[in-house]
Structure 1
Amino acid sequence: MMRQRPWFKLLLRWAATIIILALVIRYVDVSGILARLRTIPPSLVVLAIVVSVIQVVLSAWRWRYTAGRLGVSVPMTFAVREYYLATFLNQVLPGGVMVDVNRAWRHSRAQGQGAAERSEQLSAVHAVVLERLSGQLVLLPVVVLAVVVLWSSGAFSGQPLAAELSLSPVYWLLPPLLAGVGIWLLWVSGRLTSLRRYLGRLGGDLQRAFAGWRNGTVQLLTSLAVLGTYLTVFVLLALGMGLATDGTSLLLTAALCLLLLLAMVVPITVSGWGVREGAAALLWPAAGLPAEQGVAISIGYGALIFLASWPGALVFLKRA
């Protein structure tokens, strides 16, 4: 089987991003979205950027802690610097998880070239993998809980998702979203054979990083705190747009934004663009809300995270 060239994979992600965004823009009120974005006060933008700084520091500390459990030293200043660099590259390059692989590679280079050093290099790579896994292990059950709350509260009962899609032109977003997920699953399944070689070592590192009440508690609380910062940025944007006027609307918006975070995990576009907006255009009408509200929050989030990632650009220029 012919291997795909890296540039071809990058082109596919850019194409998926542009196509999905174009479909979203076609079927929503763009003027309404821009009007909502203009209502966000600068003070809330600054506060959201401060929250994003806390997010990076917490994530870097989680990486440092996970690496320490594997016997790999990661200085805190190095961890924060590299996390900012990875965040920035993830915003401008369609690299997805490869940005984190680059972070692991840059750290592992300092470990040397002997047999023992190569073992430490693998531990450095696993530290990045397990640090990201820690966040996903917390995100999934929280999202499931949000879906249960939404469903049981009747948020979707008045306008079931299937009925909403049958009445709205936004249903055209589903084919590219599903096709992208299918392509990604095929890409992953084609590499399962090579991944099996690492399962033994990875299992041991997984136990060292997560096993025991202390490790489990630290990973759980840290990942919950990181997830809380992501959700806080979404909520601040909703507040700035006047979309969370009371406790009920605030909780509904927060639950829907958790689903957006899950959608961003699917690595078929650049930094979640397109997938996030497409999911918002589907979820908000399903909850009886205008699609423009969800898309406005989604676009505002993407723009704000891009702005907050610019310290990573300074690291990149220094490295260059």
Structure 2
Amino acid sequence: MSTLTGETAAGAETPAAGGGARRPLRRLGSPAVRTRLGALAGVVILAVLFWRLGTGAFVDGVRRIDAATLAAALGIGLVTTVFSAWRWALVARGVGIRLPFGAAVADYYRALFLNAALPGGVLGDVHRAVRHGQDAGDLGRGVRAVVLERTAGQLALFAAGGAVLLTMPSPVRDQMRAAAPLAGLGLVGACAVVLALRMNRVPPGRKPRAVRGMLGEARRALFSRTTAPGVLVSSVLVLAGYVAMFVLAADVAGAGASVADLLPLALLALLAMSLPLNVGGWGPREGVAAWAFGAAGLGAGRGLTVAVVYGVLSLAASLPGAVVLVARWYAATRNRRAADPEQLAQEAHPVEAEEARPLEEARHPLAPFAPAPVVRIPAQLSEVRSEKYAPKESARLARSSLPFSAVPSEGRPMTPESV
């Protein structure tokens, strides 16, 4: 009997131990831990670059930036942000929620600033997804709209990068051409699977409802007749703005290369930026740019300088988002104060608010049941009133001489003789 009990106890402890062992793995897979690990990887990449190439490339890149360069970066950032916000509004309309264009531009600027200022490079997008979902009354659709909008941008980047790196001279053209047949076969196989599923439709009851809904939203948001042209045009123009920013950074850094030579290098750096291993976009971009410029014969140090200038210009282009952030915070603070009229009155007229407080308390519905207030009379006034209304001496004498007075006179007992 004891043996069976021991075996049962051991069997009961095994799942608990397994569950305890799985908890650290779940914590490692959480978004917060992934963001911290990505930021740590970006810091390590930057430390290795500065150790191998020195900090002179960073200092030289920052020193070369002037006011005209910052103005050009703000102009390019305005174009890319406006078209990105337009793409976001189109995608949001495709998933069934409303997003005004002006609000989309302001929120996109704020997200760009948070992406550049906070670790991970995606916290600004998370913030705008949650805020838009809460404002629209549908958090799930708000998040999916941002995910689909970012997916459209990444698809445009991958398509343009693949076409350019396959056709134009670049450090990875030979590797790309060697891997192109395998990638083509994989794409054909994926298309064949999709076609087979379309021809042999699964009954609606067997397909999960959530999967059907997500696929339908993606199709309406990205590939419908009303949204696909705008999404495609905006994605191409946004990508062109990023490349123009990289060419401007190369010109400021003194790379001395043509636009045709810089285009594959720019796309390589932009593809590296999509990796979630950065600190506000810094890390893989600098590493890939240093390697690509070195492989192209332009110098690894020069590539690091170009990447640093690009990062500084991108941060400067996102600074209007800081203005939007402060303005929204100030407006929210004023709204909270306006929602509390008593606090607003106290801040505007503190003396009048103190005088009006007894009147407000008197209007309280429980005021009739409150205890009566204690009125304190000054000492002088009480003496005057007591003296005024005190009985006179003649009245006291008359009262004492009444025939049937019960007050004994001169301390003697009441007798018939005294009466």
TM-score relative to the length of structure 2 = 0.60
Deviation at 1:265, TM superposition (A): 0.4
Which structure has the larger Rg over C-alpha atoms?
2
Deviation at 1:36, TM superposition (A): 5.0
Equivalent position of 1:190 in the other structure: none
Aligned 8 A contact 1:280 1:295 in 2: yes
Give me the whole-angstrom Cα distance separating, in 2, the residues matched to 1:47 and 1:206.
35
Pairing 1:215–2:227 present: yes
Matches within 5 A, 1:16-95: 16-32=41-57, 34-95=59-120
Pairing 1:148–2:166 present: yes
Equivalent position of 1:243 in the other structure: 255
Matches within 5 A, 1:175-214: 198-214=210-226
Q: 1:282 aligns with which of 264, 270, 291?
A: 291
What's the % identity of the aligned pairs? 36
Equivalent position of 1:185 in the other structure: none
Deviations 1:226-273 (A, max 9, x none): 00111111111112233245xxx3211122011100100011222221
Distance 1:92 1:32, change over 3 A: closer
Equivalent position of 2:352 in the other structure: none
Give me the whole-angstrom Cα distance separating, in 2, the residues matched to 1:312 and 1:234.
21
Aligned 8 A contact 1:156 1:288 in 2: no
Residue identity matched to 1:228: A
Equivalent position of 1:96 in the other structure: 121
Q: 1:138 aligns with which of 156, 180, 203?
A: 156
Distance 1:316 1:214, change over 3 A: closer
Structure 1, 94-103 or 50-59: larger mean CA deviation: 94-103
Residue identity matched to 1:42: A
More helix by share: 1
Q: 1:272 aligns with which of 271, 281, 304?
A: 281
Equivalent position of 2:140 in the other structure: 122
Residue identity matched to 2:220: R
Equivalent position of 2:316 in the other structure: 307
Deviations 1:125-151 (A, max 9, x none): 22111111111111001111221134x
Residue identity matched to 1:72: I
Distance 1:284 1:69, change over 3 A: same
Structure 1, 22-31 or 291-300: larger mean CA deviation: 22-31
Deviations 1:267-312 (A, max 9, x none): 1222221111111121111222201121111111111111221222
Q: 1:260 aligns with which of 259, 266, 269?
A: 269
Structure 1, 64-73 or 219-228: larger mean CA deviation: 64-73
Equivalent position of 1:317 in the other structure: 326
Aligned 8 A contact 1:244 1:253 in 2: no
Aligned 8 A contact 1:13 1:269 in 2: yes
TM-score relative to the length of structure 1 = 0.77
Residue identity matched to 1:284: F
Aligned 8 A contact 1:33 1:292 in 2: no
Residue identity matched to 1:209: A
Aligned 8 A contact 1:85 1:313 in 2: yes
Pairing 1:295–2:313 present: no
Unpaired segments of 5 or more residues in structure 1? 113-119, 162-195
Distance 1:270 1:142, change over 3 A: same
Equivalent position of 2:382 in the other structure: none
Pairing 1:225–2:237 present: yes
Deviation at 1:29, TM superposition (A): 4.8
Distance 1:103 1:32, change over 3 A: closer
Distance 1:260 1:207, change over 3 A: same
Aligned 8 A contact 1:64 1:74 in 2: yes
Pairing 1:14–2:22 present: no
Match of 2:227, SS?
A: helix
Equivalent position of 1:189 in the other structure: none
Aligned 8 A contact 2:113 2:124 in 1: no
Residue identity matched to 1:289: L
Aligned 8 A contact 2:277 2:283 in 1: no
Unpaired segments of 5 or more residues in structure 2? 1-21, 176-207, 330-419
Residue identity matched to 2:165: V
For these two proteins, the number of residue pairs brought into alignment is: 272
Give me the whole-angstrom Cα distance separating, in 2, the residues matched to 1:214 and 1:76.
16
Equivalent position of 1:184 in the other structure: none
Deviation at 1:22, TM superposition (A): 0.8
Match of 1:126, SS?
A: helix
Task: Specify which structure has the bigger relative contact order, considering alpha-carbon pairs within 8 angstroms and separated by 6 or more residues.
Answer: 1
Deviation at 1:33, TM superposition (A): 5.1
Residue identity matched to 1:253: L
Pairing 1:105–2:130 present: yes
Aligned 8 A contact 2:58 2:304 in 1: yes
Give me the whole-angstrom Cα distance separating, in 1, the residues matched to 2:265 and 2:74.
21
